[in-house]
Amino acid sequence: MAEQYNWWQTGIIYQIYPRSFQDSNDDGIGDLPGLIQRLDYVQSLGVDAIWLSPIYPSPMADFGYDISDYCNIHPMFGTLDDFDRLLAEAHRRGLKIILDLVPNHTSNQHPWFIESRRSRQSYRRDWYIWRDPAPDGGPPNNWLSIFGGPAWTFDETTGQYYLHQFAKEQPELNYRHPGVLAAMLHNMRFWLNRGVDGFRVDVIWLLIKDELFRDEPRNPAWDGVTPHNSLLHIHTQNLPETHLMIRQMRAILDEYDNRVMIGEISLPNEQLVEYYGPKYDECHLPFNFQLITLPWQATVVRHAVNAYEAALPAQGWPNWVLGNHDQHRLASRVGQAQARVATLLLLTLRGTPTCYYGDEIGMTDGEIPLEFVRDPMAVNQPELAHMLGRDPERTPMQWTAEPNAGFTNPNVQPWLPLAKDYKCNNVAAQENNPTSILNLFRLLAALRSAELSLSVGDYAAVETDAADVFAYTRRAPNAHPFLVVLNFGPESHLLNLSHIAPHAKIAAATDMEARGVVDLATLALEPNQGLLLQIG
Ligand code: NOJ
């Protein structure tokens, strides 16, 4: 039965932020040869695919999300040869490689933009979004940048403003010009021909903007904190024509075997699921970020899982994301004990799990002294840096207890400081500890791949009378069924789940200690404990 499924359905995706994984040339920044050295570790996790944040040439105004050449590798990360070696070494280990594609904007150093900005008559002018100033000389409309301030920057050379919803160094491409999509499809082919297994497409729901450049209305529900949220983004996000662009991107992937397109989309379920496409001809996986954004409470999460399951179209394959390079670390959001519960949840829900490097060892947000703050989101909005800054979740991987944690030469300054806990919290320390979260992760990944019910089985919520407990079953035909019971709270509970089965065998427990057969009529759940129970 598992053979009927694609690798991106049954597999686990592991996101690597290449700057922070492994440095091999002592410049304090991670690189591809370093990553190759760590592939055995990645394989040991039991994950199936690596999604790499951008590795292309870039002035690094937004750490690679500002690309100046789509068909090459930044020398800081290595060469195309290194990339080919990475691909071969990953494939040899049964690991897929997914690249980050950033089609919405380029770097302002990309030759397209340099040419576009040269003159109003430039043959590339309309590849970007240029507008005359408002009558008062100000920006053409009220659109805001996600990184703070207006989404428009005035360019002296030609006396017009250009659009950027992120840093001013990230001018937005104009997908109403057919040449732009054609060029991006060409870039996709370049990597697909090289053998990459797919793309995670950056802000895919932002590709098209209002043709009339109308002001966006005020958001009546604005909490007064993040300026970008003060408007309702009806003219810059989720426009209907976006789907036409995505279908053409997907058509390119479909020319190749077994590739995946994952869309970065932040929308409520009803709109999110439209990105599967009317004929399942858009994203294979529109990213589902709810486990990151919702309050960590059993009732909230249960409701979210049920609502998402209910919203999915018949052939829409679910997915769940627990962390990424834009959000505070899992263990910092929910605490170490609940990070284990969350890991059990992620790896037993129906749908492809995506986890962020370091979360498998419970890495926490680093403390970033002012002089090290690098993220434009924080640099541009210093008063909100503590909330919005993304440096804390991008600190170097913690491999060992030695200075610089084995990430780079002990005598080198890493590009971001290590999180303070690295001396006790690192891969080496956890490898040999049978109860570590790392070994929990491995056990769950192995079970997920071995047990059909866990990889592809149905999901059904189970009612319990404890508000802090979320329970559900996973079942596939002719396979062991499983019951998952998660305690989101600090109290213990005695549950009667005998309507599911009389007895169950503990297949995994978040503490990595509980074992044996349990009586489901009197199931004792410890504080912050999650159990994966085989019920047949
Ligand atoms: C989403 C990426 O995840 C984020 O890191 C980046 O800053 C923006 N898109 C702009 O590319």
CA of 147, closest atom in ligand 1: 7
Active site residue 468: no
What is residue 262's predicted lDDT score, i.e. its pLDDT? 99
Contact 497, 338 (CB under 8 A): no
Whose CA is closest to atom 8 on ligand 1?
65
Atom in ligand 1 nearest the alpha carbon of residue 390:
5
How many angstroms separate the CA atoms of 112 and 263, rounded? 24
Q: Residue 282 and residue 437: Cα distance in Å, rounded?
A: 36
Contact between 462 and 348 (Cβ < 8 Å): no
Counting from 1 in the atom list of ligand 1, the atom nearest the Cα of 104 is 11
Residue 386, pLDDT above cutoff 90: no
> Percent of the chain, pLDDT > 90?
98
Residue in 48, 216, 264, 274 annotated catalytic: 264
| φ, ψ (nearest 5 deg) of residue 475 | -140, 135
Mean pLDDT on 169-179: 98
Q: Is the CB of 172 under 6 A from ligand 1?
A: no
- Mean pLDDT along residues 6-21: 98
pLDDT surpasses 70 at 331: yes
Residues 163-188 as b/e (b if ≥16 CB within 10 A, e otherwise) read bbbbbbbbbbbbbebeebbeebbebb
CB 44 within 8 Å of CB 428: no
Using pLDDT thresholds of 50, 70 and 90, give the confidence band for residue 308.
very high
Is 264 assigned a catalytic role? yes
Contacts of 286 (CB under 8 A, 6+ apart): 262, 263, 265, 272, 273, 275, 276, 319
DSSP state, 456?
Answer: H
Number of Cβ atoms within 10 Å of the Cβ of 292 = 18
Q: How far apart are CA 448 and CA 453, in angstroms?
A: 8
Per-residue pLDDT tens for 210-256?
999 999 999 999 999 999 999 999 999 999 999 999 999 999 999 99
Q: Is 325 a catalytic residue?
A: yes
Tokens representing residue 142 in the block: 């009220």
What are the strands of the beta sheet with 96-101, ordered from one edge? Answer: 285-286, 260-263, 198-201, 96-101, 49-52, 13-16, 352-356, 319-321
pLDDT above 80 for 2: no
pLDDT in tens, 32-49: 999 999 999 999 999 999
Domains and CATH numbers, the chain: 2-104+178-438 (3.20.20.80), 111-163 (3.90.400.10), 458-535 (2.60.40.1180)
203 lines ligand 1 (CB under 6 A): yes
Average pLDDT score over residue span 470-490 = 98
Tell how far the Cα of 54 is from the centroid of ligand 1, in angstroms. 10
Residue closest via CA to ligand 1's atom 3 equals 326
| Short-list 356, 340, 516, 359, CA closest to 435 | 340
Going by C-alpha positions, the residue among 117, 304, 143, 122 that lies closest to residue 209 is 143
pLDDT at 1: 67
